[in-house]
Amino acid sequence: MTTAPTRTPQGERTRAMRARLLEAAVECLVERGFSGTSTTLVSERAGVSRGAQLHHFPTKNDLVLAAVEHLTEVRGAELRAAAARLPSGPRRTRAVLTMLEDHFTSPVFTAALELWVAARTDPALQAAVGPLEQRVGRDAHRLTVTALGADESQPGVRELVQATLDLVRGLGLATTISDDARRRRRILDQWARTLDAALDPGRHAEKEGTT
């Protein structure tokens, strides 16, 4: 993606090195889990010297937290782009669920899961993961409300959107033990029907383009 690499300014080289470290850290979390991830392993994988790695991320927690934050931002941008491509009409709700399913079964979910579970028994990590999760949760909620065209001023709508996100989180967790794409598909087919029936019927007319 960089042009004229021989003239790359220092700032850009630093950014590229940080990005390599963060991507290597996410790969490590996904492949080896939190306990199998070490700063040595990550710097080797990224092709970055130990000194440079330690300069940017003094501890393993700094590194994995920045990595998951970075990937969350990348995925957030991808989610927003996917939301912009959603079809209108009666298939929109199901398409929103597929979009969320893709997100919650992706490597970013797996890496975040490793971080969550590690944070559970590591107060320093917990202190950093908590606020990150709150932000991620708020963003995902807002995006889903908009994508569904849900009217949160209606009673129960906010809770159904939250339930949708908790459902796909639960499906994502189930997927880490056994791959069950078929089961997920059937559940989300039904969830889309339930959601359409439960959300404000006026919205459906709108979705169908009849208003």
Evaluate whether 161 touches 148 at the Cβ level (below 8 Å). Answer: yes
Distance in angstroms (rounded) separating the CA atoms of residues 65 and 119: 10
Residue (28 or 48) nearer to a copy of itself, CB: 28
Cα 60 from chain centroid? 21
- Smallest gap from Cβ 179 to a copy of itself, in A, equals 11
Chain residues binding a copy of itself by CB under 8 A are 31-36, 110, 113-114, 116-121, 126, 129-130, 133-134, 156, 159-160, 162-163, 165-174, 176-178, 183, 186-187, 189-191, 193-194, 197-198
**CB contact set of 191 (below 8 Å; sequence gap of 6+):** 97, 164, 167
Nearer to a copy of itself, 8 or 154 (CB): 154
Helix (H, G, I), strand (E, B) or coil at 23: helix
Tokens 């993606």 found at: 1
CB-nearer residue toward a copy of itself: 17 or 69: 69
> Residue 5 or 131: which CB sits closer to a copy of itself?
131
| Pick 73 or 166: Cβ nearer a copy of itself | 166
Q: How far is the CB of 107 from a copy of itself (least distance, A)?
A: 12
- Residue 96: name the closest of 117, 110, 80, 111 by CA: 80
CB of 91 to a copy of itself, least distance (A): 17
Instruction: Give the shortest CB-35-to-a copy of itself separation in angstroms.
Output: 4
Q: Is 80 or 183 the residue whose CB approaches a copy of itself more closely?
A: 183
Closest to 128 measured CA to CA, from 67, 46, 56: 67
**CB 93 to a copy of itself: min, Å:** 14
Following DSSP, what letter does each residue of 148-177 receive, concatenated?
HT--TTSTTHHHHHHHHHHHHHHHHHHHHH
Q: How far is the CB of 69 from a copy of itself (least distance, A)?
A: 15
Q: What is the spatial distance between Cα 114 and Cα 100, in angstroms, rounded to a whole number?
A: 19
